[in-house]
Amino acid sequence: MNTGHDLRVLRQLTEAVESGSPVVLATVVATQRSVPRHAGTKMLVYQDGRLAGTIGGGEMESRVIEEARAALVTRRPQLLDYSLLEPARGDPGVCGGEVKIYLEPYMPSHTILIIGAGHVGRAVVDLADWLGYRTIVIDDRPERLTQAELPKAGQRLAGSIGEALDGLEITEGTSVAVVTRSVDQDVEAIPRLLASPAGYIGVMGSDRRWREVKNRLEEMGIGEAELERVHAPIGLEINAETLEEIAVSILSEIIRVRGAGDQA
Protein backbone atom coordinates (compact mmCIF):
# COMPACT_ATOMS: atom_id res chain seq x y z
CA MET A 1 0.00 0.00 0.00
CA ASN A 2 1.32 3.44 -0.91
CA THR A 3 1.87 5.85 1.98
CA GLY A 4 1.31 9.58 1.81
CA HIS A 5 5.06 9.92 1.28
CA ASP A 6 4.99 7.61 -1.75
CA LEU A 7 1.91 9.27 -3.22
CA ARG A 8 3.66 12.65 -3.03
CA VAL A 9 6.62 11.17 -4.90
CA LEU A 10 4.28 9.79 -7.57
CA ARG A 11 2.63 13.20 -7.96
CA GLN A 12 6.06 14.78 -8.41
CA LEU A 13 6.91 12.08 -10.94
CA THR A 14 3.79 13.01 -12.92
CA GLU A 15 4.78 16.69 -12.81
CA ALA A 16 8.30 15.87 -14.01
CA VAL A 17 7.02 13.79 -16.93
CA GLU A 18 4.49 16.44 -17.94
CA SER A 19 7.14 19.19 -17.84
CA GLY A 20 9.65 17.12 -19.81
CA SER A 21 12.19 16.83 -16.98
CA PRO A 22 14.36 13.68 -17.03
CA VAL A 23 14.02 11.79 -13.77
CA VAL A 24 14.64 8.35 -12.28
CA LEU A 25 12.15 6.64 -9.99
CA ALA A 26 13.87 4.42 -7.41
CA THR A 27 11.52 1.90 -5.78
CA VAL A 28 12.24 -0.61 -3.04
CA VAL A 29 10.77 -3.76 -4.59
CA ALA A 30 11.81 -6.47 -2.11
CA THR A 31 13.31 -6.72 1.36
CA GLN A 32 14.50 -9.38 3.78
CA ARG A 33 14.98 -8.99 7.52
CA SER A 34 15.88 -5.57 8.90
CA VAL A 35 16.10 -2.72 6.34
CA PRO A 36 15.60 1.08 6.51
CA ARG A 37 12.43 1.18 4.38
CA HIS A 38 9.66 -1.22 3.42
CA ALA A 39 8.90 -2.53 -0.06
CA GLY A 40 7.11 0.10 -2.15
CA THR A 41 9.06 3.07 -0.77
CA LYS A 42 9.96 5.49 -3.57
CA MET A 43 12.44 8.24 -4.31
CA LEU A 44 12.97 10.50 -7.33
CA VAL A 45 16.39 11.53 -8.60
CA TYR A 46 16.38 14.53 -10.94
CA GLN A 47 19.00 15.34 -13.56
CA ASP A 48 20.06 18.47 -11.68
CA GLY A 49 20.72 16.44 -8.52
CA ARG A 50 17.51 17.23 -6.66
CA LEU A 51 15.77 14.46 -4.73
CA ALA A 52 12.17 13.83 -3.78
CA GLY A 53 11.54 11.31 -1.04
CA THR A 54 14.02 8.92 0.53
CA ILE A 55 14.69 5.21 0.54
CA GLY A 56 16.53 5.23 3.83
CA GLY A 57 19.44 7.62 3.64
CA GLY A 58 23.00 6.72 4.44
CA GLU A 59 25.51 4.95 2.24
CA MET A 60 22.89 2.80 0.53
CA GLU A 61 20.92 5.82 -0.65
CA SER A 62 24.13 7.51 -1.83
CA ARG A 63 24.93 4.49 -3.98
CA VAL A 64 21.40 4.42 -5.38
CA ILE A 65 21.64 8.11 -6.31
CA GLU A 66 24.92 7.47 -8.11
CA GLU A 67 23.39 4.58 -10.04
CA ALA A 68 20.31 6.68 -10.85
CA ARG A 69 22.47 9.42 -12.35
CA ALA A 70 24.14 6.79 -14.52
CA ALA A 71 20.68 5.55 -15.57
CA LEU A 72 19.85 9.07 -16.78
CA VAL A 73 22.72 8.66 -19.24
CA THR A 74 22.12 5.06 -20.31
CA ARG A 75 18.31 5.48 -20.19
CA ARG A 76 18.05 1.85 -19.10
CA PRO A 77 16.23 0.49 -16.04
CA GLN A 78 18.30 -1.41 -13.51
CA LEU A 79 17.69 -3.71 -10.54
CA LEU A 80 20.06 -3.10 -7.61
CA ASP A 81 20.66 -5.74 -4.96
CA TYR A 82 22.26 -4.74 -1.64
CA SER A 83 23.18 -6.66 1.50
CA LEU A 84 23.28 -4.50 4.62
CA LEU A 85 25.55 -6.64 6.75
CA GLU A 86 29.27 -5.86 6.80
CA PRO A 87 30.54 -2.39 5.75
CA ALA A 88 34.08 -3.75 6.07
CA ARG A 89 33.51 -5.92 3.02
CA GLY A 90 31.80 -3.09 1.11
CA ASP A 91 28.16 -3.42 2.16
CA PRO A 92 26.30 -0.07 2.32
CA GLY A 93 24.93 -0.59 5.83
CA VAL A 94 24.70 -2.70 8.98
CA CYS A 95 20.94 -3.15 9.37
CA GLY A 96 21.23 -6.89 8.86
CA GLY A 97 18.89 -7.25 5.92
CA GLU A 98 18.81 -7.32 2.15
CA VAL A 99 17.06 -4.96 -0.24
CA LYS A 100 16.32 -4.84 -3.95
CA ILE A 101 15.76 -1.45 -5.58
CA TYR A 102 14.44 -0.90 -9.09
CA LEU A 103 15.61 2.15 -11.03
CA GLU A 104 13.23 3.33 -13.73
CA PRO A 105 14.31 6.28 -15.92
CA TYR A 106 11.60 8.56 -17.27
CA MET A 107 13.02 10.49 -20.20
CA PRO A 108 11.13 13.25 -22.04
CA SER A 109 9.99 12.60 -25.57
CA HIS A 110 12.30 14.05 -28.20
CA THR A 111 11.10 17.51 -29.19
CA ILE A 112 10.67 18.67 -32.76
CA LEU A 113 10.58 22.46 -32.95
CA ILE A 114 9.04 23.64 -36.20
CA ILE A 115 9.57 27.29 -37.13
CA GLY A 116 6.99 28.16 -39.76
CA ALA A 117 3.44 26.86 -39.91
CA GLY A 118 3.05 26.78 -43.67
CA HIS A 119 2.19 23.70 -45.68
CA VAL A 120 5.54 21.98 -45.05
CA GLY A 121 5.49 22.86 -41.35
CA ARG A 122 2.06 21.33 -40.93
CA ALA A 123 3.15 18.14 -42.70
CA VAL A 124 6.18 17.89 -40.41
CA VAL A 125 3.98 18.34 -37.34
CA ASP A 126 1.61 15.58 -38.42
CA LEU A 127 4.40 13.09 -39.13
CA ALA A 128 6.37 13.98 -35.98
CA ASP A 129 3.27 13.47 -33.88
CA TRP A 130 2.63 10.10 -35.53
CA LEU A 131 6.21 9.11 -34.71
CA GLY A 132 5.62 9.91 -31.06
CA TYR A 133 7.62 13.12 -30.81
CA ARG A 134 6.66 16.20 -28.84
CA THR A 135 6.05 19.12 -31.19
CA ILE A 136 6.30 22.89 -30.80
CA VAL A 137 5.36 25.26 -33.62
CA ILE A 138 6.30 28.93 -33.96
CA ASP A 139 4.75 31.31 -36.48
CA ASP A 140 4.05 35.03 -36.60
CA ARG A 141 0.59 34.39 -38.07
CA PRO A 142 -1.88 33.46 -35.29
CA GLU A 143 -4.41 32.27 -37.83
CA ARG A 144 -2.01 29.51 -38.84
CA LEU A 145 -1.71 28.23 -35.28
CA THR A 146 -5.31 27.40 -34.47
CA GLN A 147 -6.52 24.00 -33.32
CA ALA A 148 -8.28 23.58 -36.65
CA GLU A 149 -5.13 24.33 -38.65
CA LEU A 150 -2.71 22.33 -36.47
CA PRO A 151 -4.66 19.71 -34.52
CA LYS A 152 -1.56 17.57 -33.86
CA ALA A 153 0.69 20.34 -32.52
CA GLY A 154 1.68 19.91 -28.90
CA GLN A 155 2.45 23.59 -28.32
CA ARG A 156 1.76 26.65 -30.48
CA LEU A 157 3.66 29.93 -30.10
CA ALA A 158 2.34 32.90 -32.04
CA GLY A 159 4.16 36.18 -32.58
CA SER A 160 7.71 37.25 -33.28
CA ILE A 161 9.99 34.31 -34.02
CA GLY A 162 12.83 35.95 -32.13
CA GLU A 163 10.74 36.62 -29.03
CA ALA A 164 9.30 33.10 -29.09
CA LEU A 165 12.78 31.56 -29.29
CA ASP A 166 14.12 33.83 -26.55
CA GLY A 167 11.45 32.50 -24.20
CA LEU A 168 11.86 28.84 -25.13
CA GLU A 169 14.20 26.29 -23.54
CA ILE A 170 16.01 24.41 -26.30
CA THR A 171 18.06 21.41 -25.20
CA GLU A 172 20.22 18.74 -26.81
CA GLY A 173 17.00 16.74 -27.04
CA THR A 174 15.50 19.28 -29.43
CA SER A 175 15.60 19.04 -33.22
CA VAL A 176 14.68 22.20 -35.12
CA ALA A 177 13.14 22.40 -38.58
CA VAL A 178 13.29 25.96 -39.93
CA VAL A 179 10.65 26.00 -42.67
CA THR A 180 9.79 29.70 -42.86
CA ARG A 181 8.55 31.69 -45.82
CA SER A 182 11.40 34.23 -45.99
CA VAL A 183 15.13 34.81 -45.73
CA ASP A 184 14.52 37.49 -43.12
CA GLN A 185 12.84 35.00 -40.81
CA ASP A 186 15.66 32.51 -41.29
CA VAL A 187 18.18 35.19 -40.35
CA GLU A 188 16.12 36.08 -37.29
CA ALA A 189 15.93 32.48 -36.09
CA ILE A 190 19.29 30.90 -36.88
CA PRO A 191 21.60 32.95 -34.59
CA ARG A 192 19.39 32.10 -31.62
CA LEU A 193 19.37 28.42 -32.58
CA LEU A 194 23.15 28.34 -32.96
CA ALA A 195 23.44 29.80 -29.46
CA SER A 196 21.49 26.81 -28.14
CA PRO A 197 22.59 23.18 -27.69
CA ALA A 198 19.94 21.94 -30.16
CA GLY A 199 20.87 18.47 -31.43
CA TYR A 200 19.77 19.23 -34.99
CA ILE A 201 19.12 22.42 -36.96
CA GLY A 202 17.79 22.14 -40.50
CA VAL A 203 16.80 24.97 -42.83
CA MET A 204 14.48 24.61 -45.80
CA GLY A 205 15.19 26.30 -49.09
CA SER A 206 17.17 26.12 -52.28
CA ASP A 207 20.96 26.30 -52.45
CA ARG A 208 20.63 29.85 -53.68
CA ARG A 209 18.43 30.87 -50.74
CA TRP A 210 20.80 29.25 -48.25
CA ARG A 211 23.75 31.12 -49.77
CA GLU A 212 21.89 34.39 -49.23
CA VAL A 213 21.03 33.46 -45.63
CA LYS A 214 24.59 32.32 -44.99
CA ASN A 215 26.10 35.53 -46.40
CA ARG A 216 23.91 37.64 -44.15
CA LEU A 217 24.76 35.55 -41.11
CA GLU A 218 28.48 35.84 -41.84
CA GLU A 219 28.05 39.61 -42.08
CA MET A 220 26.58 39.42 -38.55
CA GLY A 221 29.79 37.77 -37.35
CA ILE A 222 28.71 34.13 -37.34
CA GLY A 223 31.64 31.95 -38.34
CA GLU A 224 31.89 29.04 -40.74
CA ALA A 225 32.40 26.54 -37.93
CA GLU A 226 29.10 27.54 -36.34
CA LEU A 227 27.26 27.41 -39.66
CA GLU A 228 28.44 23.87 -40.24
CA ARG A 229 25.91 22.80 -37.62
CA VAL A 230 23.11 23.75 -40.00
CA HIS A 231 21.70 21.14 -42.37
CA ALA A 232 20.77 23.06 -45.50
CA PRO A 233 18.90 22.33 -47.59
CA ILE A 234 17.00 20.42 -44.93
CA GLY A 235 16.26 16.71 -45.19
CA LEU A 236 17.67 13.64 -46.89
CA GLU A 237 17.83 13.64 -50.68
CA ILE A 238 15.07 11.20 -51.64
CA ASN A 239 13.63 13.13 -54.59
CA ALA A 240 10.68 14.16 -52.43
CA GLU A 241 7.91 16.00 -54.24
CA THR A 242 4.73 15.95 -52.15
CA LEU A 243 4.38 17.64 -48.78
CA GLU A 244 4.22 14.26 -47.10
CA GLU A 245 7.39 13.11 -48.86
CA ILE A 246 9.19 16.29 -47.83
CA ALA A 247 8.15 15.67 -44.23
CA VAL A 248 9.51 12.11 -44.50
CA SER A 249 12.79 13.51 -45.83
CA ILE A 250 13.09 15.95 -42.92
CA LEU A 251 12.18 13.48 -40.18
CA SER A 252 14.46 10.86 -41.73
CA GLU A 253 17.43 13.19 -41.47
CA ILE A 254 16.55 14.04 -37.87
CA ILE A 255 16.35 10.33 -37.02
CA ARG A 256 19.70 9.67 -38.71
CA VAL A 257 21.44 12.53 -36.89
CA ARG A 258 19.98 11.47 -33.55
CA GLY A 259 21.10 7.89 -34.13
CA ALA A 260 24.63 9.01 -34.99
CA GLY A 261 24.73 11.04 -31.78
CA ASP A 262 23.64 8.05 -29.68
CA GLN A 263 26.50 5.98 -31.13
CA ALA A 264 29.14 8.62 -30.49
Convert the pLDDT of each residue in 215-249 to its tens digit: 999 999 999 999 999 999 999 999 999 999 999 99
Convert the pLDDT of each residue in 145-184 to its tens digit: 999 999 999 999 999 999 999 999 898 889 999 999 999 9
Question: Quick one: DSSP state of residue 237?
Answer: -
Task: State what percent of residues in the chain have pLDDT above 70.
Answer: 91
Fold observed for domain 111-263: Rossmann fold (3.40.50)
**β 78-83/51-53 pair status:** unpaired
Residue 236 has phi, psi (to 5 degrees) of -75, 150
Domain boundaries, the chain: 4-106, 111-263
CA 259 to the chain's CA centroid: 14
pTM, two decimal places: 0.72
Please compute the mean of the pLDDT values over residues 52-75 and round it to a whole number: 88
Answer yes or no: is pLDDT of 138 > 90.
yes
**Gyration radius (Cα) of the chain, Å:** 23
pLDDT value of residue 89: 43
Convert the pLDDT of each residue in 15-60 to its tens digit: 888 777 889 999 999 888 766 678 888 999 998 889 999 888 777 8
Residue 6 Rama label (left phi>0; alpha psi -120 to 50; beta): alpha
Answer yes or no: is pLDDT of 258 > 80.
yes
